[in-house]
Amino acid sequence: MTIVNDVYELNLATAGKLKLRATARLAEGGADAVFEACVLLHEAARAERRAVDALPRCPPSTRLAASIEECWCLIEGADPARAGRAWGRVLEDLRHVDRATGEAMLSRIHPRHEESQRAFHKVIASCTHLTRVGASGSLVPPTKDGQLATHRDVQRALAAFPGAVGFWWASYRLLEAMGELQKSWAALQRARLLDPENRRFEAMSLFLAVHALPEMEADEYLGRVRSSFDGAGAEICLMYALAELHLAEKGSRAKERRTRALDASNAGLTQATTDGLRRNLKATQLLSQDLLAGRKPTLDILYRAGLGESAAAASSSRNVAELVTQLASRSVAPNEPIPQAA
């Protein structure tokens, strides 16, 4: 119990220090300082959650206090959508304490939460293009004009809520579709700073790196996960493999890169937890094998990998490597829904 309590105290102390640093950065003003404060507050929210999760027998009031602090950090960290998720935990934890205790503990957070949600709703309601594409289920409109208009909405939302992870993700997707790869890279890196534990964000960054960065920098970036694929996660193995195959197409150490891609896809298959990831890793494995053997990849790869529906819908002249990459990206893309006005 002492060890667990030490973990609890350590995380509480960490959260406190992060909040103080965030307060100092906010006082400085300026877009960069405000964003850094948002990053610190997101980390503080995670520390609050880790603290209470370290207690095997957590008193209801302690759990409620942790959820309140987590929610407060996300509100002040300008991420109303995730603060809304934390508020759900607050309401659930509230059921396990007496009314007087609950009301006293909510006295600070409740008005701030309502204020944040009102401001959020007002901004979202003004982002008509963004809410339209969100309702359609496809974030990226098919036309350039639609993409530009939607991204203007995203920028408006980020100006008001620079800590909103979902909007940075949307910015990355839209900028990538518009061919603004360096800006897309910067947006994805901001999403990763706010949510560094999101493996899918990291996985997508591996593939974007080979498009947005010079080859040497991209190679260095890939090198961070190259030393060991064991335990890296199926998503990271998949996108790493595709990144290496893309660099191989440029003619740079092709055999070496295709071998790495095969190794990564093999490792990813042992870690895949969903059928979708397993099928896409199998397709990448078969693609790597064909390329290493000097064979031209055909749609047979997709059929053998269990992606027969996609193969049947594809033209026989379609570039199979591009199709495998497209399908894999869809399977890895994080589920970051864009909030819509009610």
pLDDT at site 2: 52
pLDDT at site 1: 46
Q: Determine if the pTM surpasses 0.95.
A: no
Residue 38 and residue 92 share a domain: yes
CB 79 within 8 A of CB 165: yes
Mean pLDDT of 14-39: 96
Count how many Cα atoms sit within 13 Å of the Cα of residue 143 in the half-sphere of its side chain: 4
Q: Each residue of 167-187: pLDDT tens digit?
A: 999 999 999 999 999 999 999
Residue 304 and residue 167 share a domain: no
Q: Each residue of 250-274: pLDDT tens digit?
A: 877 899 999 999 999 999 999 999 9
Residue 181 and residue 61 share a domain: no
Residue 338 and residue 226 share a domain: yes
Number of domain units in the chain: 3
Residue 335 scores a pLDDT above 60:
no
CB 245 within 8 A of CB 239: no
pLDDT tier, 227 (very low <50, low <70, confident <90, very high otherwise): confident
Instruction: Tokens for 273, please give them.
Output: 């937890």
Taking the CA atoms of residue 101, residue 90, residue 160 and residue 148 in that order, the dihedral angle to the nearest 10 degrees is: -170
Residue 175 and residue 161 share a domain: yes
Q: Each residue of 60-116: pLDDT tens digit?
A: 999 999 999 999 999 999 999 999 999 999 999 999 999 999 999 999 999 999 999
In whole angstroms, what is the distance from residue 112 CA to residue 75 CA?
8
Instruction: Tokens for 308, please give them.
Output: 């027969």
Residue 211 and residue 107 share a domain: no
Residue 140 scores a pLDDT above 50:
yes
pLDDT cut 70: percent of the chain above it: 95
pLDDT tier, 342 (very low <50, low <70, confident <90, very high otherwise): very low
Instruction: Tokens for 20, please give them.
Output: 């103080």
Q: Where are the beta strands (DSSP E) in the chain?
A: none
pLDDT cut 90: percent of the chain above it: 80
Q: Tell me the residue range of the domain where 270 lies.
A: 198-342
Burial tier of 86 (Cβ tally within 10 Å: 0-12, 13-18, 19+): buried
pLDDT tier, 338 (very low <50, low <70, confident <90, very high otherwise): low
- Please say which residue of 144, 170, 194 terminates a domain: 194
- Of residues 321 and 335, the one with the higher pLDDT is 321
- Of residues 154 and 335, the one with the higher pLDDT is 154
Residue 308 identity (one-letter amino acid): G
End-to-end CA distance of the chain: 46
> Which has the closest alpha carbon to 203: 229, 235, 230?
235
In whole angstroms, what is the distance from residue 214 CA to residue 218 CA?
6
Residue 293 and residue 216 share a domain: yes
Q: Each residue of 300-324: pLDDT tens digit?
A: 999 999 999 999 999 888 999 999 9
Residue 170 and residue 272 share a domain: no
- Please say which residue of 194, 221, 237 terminates a domain: 194
- Sign of the dihedral through C-alpha 157, 160, 163, 164: negative
Q: In the predicted model, what is the mean pLDDT of the chain?
A: 92
pLDDT at site 57: 87
- Residues near 305 by beta carbon (within 8 Å), at least 6 away in sequence: 279, 280, 282, 283, 286
